[in-house]
Amino acid sequence: MADATWVGATAKQISRAVRRGDVTATQVVADHLEQISITDPSLDAFRVIRAGEAITEAEKVDDQEDLSNLPLAGVPVAVKENTPVAGLPTWLGSAAMRTAVAEEDHEVVRRLRGAGAVVVGVTRMPEMGLWGVTDDANGPTRNPWDRDRTPGGSSGGAAAAVAAGLVPIAQGNDGLGSIRIPAACCGLVGLKPGRDVVPADLGVGSFFGMAENGVLTTTVADAALGFSVLAGRDPVRLVEPDKLRIGVSTRSPVAGLHADRPNLDAVASAAKLLVRAGHDTVTANPRYTTSLGIRVTASWFAAAYQEAEGLDVASLQPRTRRHIRLGKWASRSGLAKRSHQDSWREASIKFFADNSIDLLLMPALASAPPLAESFSSASWLRNMSVNVRYAPFAAPWNYAGLPAIVVPVGLRPDGLPLAVQLVGPPDSEVLLLAVAGQFEVLNPWQRHAFV
């Protein structure tokens, strides 16, 4: 925490101080708004900043007589721009996608505010949330660890804001890795809850039924707190898990693609940390078939087609238009079906049972985050190639609807963050958080980038 400012404090530290009366929500929010004004021009993490409105909302928090039941009292949060916030348009990544001003908050925003959080702004994403890089005609959002690199996507603005200390917690959503990929790019904790644990209700079909709302944070404790609020639960108390049997896999879901040496080393380091924590590790490789890859890709296409219903497609980016055309074909061909998702979900659950494993450890990324280029004006083929090559490990678990978390484990030789992914069976969110907490204790990470 810097002198006389709450910038850099965790959500738990802030909420505790506000509840005790050590600081006002108004002061905390003012500190963060000042930092946003200084830092965000070089990052472009935010689509819009709610400066005056946020101060007014913070004052309302301070006016409440009893703050004891507000787990996020006075905590500045950011909301991803595809998630309705009352009084603002919902951008969905581009001016062409922008909807009318929302009359009411999305349920997850309502829950954040109900817990005492203050929405300071909405963060940028790629058009329609289709890509693992974040940019549009106004330019790219940049990674605070290296402004020449992308913070990932589609929750790229959310990740950049948290990694730069502009907010301690940001809401994001994850349809094919859109929380976990930027968390890995920016050295954050990123939890994708399992199916039907947190309200989704995103766009037309919640990314063909694959998207979930979650949070990006700098600590496991904040991730647990944010998850509790979004899931409508009492604050989760993390305890040391019993001895677990954890599968380890470096096999890529995409044939012919492999994780680079730093990401392989990250998995090896994480496996050693698990053993130090008292767990057993065994090799366990999911069976990624060609048909699975085709079906996941078809659902990615179909998500764009579903979201584009009623839109002037000609006003969208060329890469998006081609994705939509392929989505129309995928929807009519029968390759994109919810029944296929259910089959993979059953096979994934059976994989955990057949291998007698509690969780599965794997790489979060296959390579370093790509350069922060103008991907929004690049060809569809260029976008597909870059996205699939650097981030192939996340998508199968959206398709299965299983919970997964990304945890930092160190730095690449070039100074960018390294991370691993843990996947669990249904209802294992708290267990994933508990194991992530063991990583944090045994191998603490740098919480913010040097900005």
Catalytic residues: 80, 154, 178
End-to-end CA distance of the chain: 14
Burial of 287 (0-12, 13-18, 19+ CB in 10 A): exposed
Task: Reduce the secondary structure of 319-379 to three states and give it as a string.
Answer: HHHHHHHHHHHHHHHCCCCHHHHHHHHHHHHHHHHHCCCCEEEEECCCCCCCECCCHHHCC
Question: In whole angstroms, what is the distance from residue 275 CA to residue 255 CA?
Answer: 30
CA angle 134, 135, 137 (to 5 degrees): 165
CB crowding 80-116: b at 16 or more within 10 Å, else e: bbbbbbeebbbbbbbebbeeeebeebbbbbebbbebb
Question: In whole angstroms, what is the distance from residue 311 CA to residue 294 CA?
Answer: 26
Question: In whole angstroms, what is the distance from residue 78 CA to residue 226 CA?
Answer: 12
> What DSSP assignment string belongs to 373-427?
--GGGS-HHHHHHHHHHH--SSHHHHHHT--EEEEEEEE-TTS-EEEEEEE-STT
* Contact by Cβ (8 Å): 207, 117: no
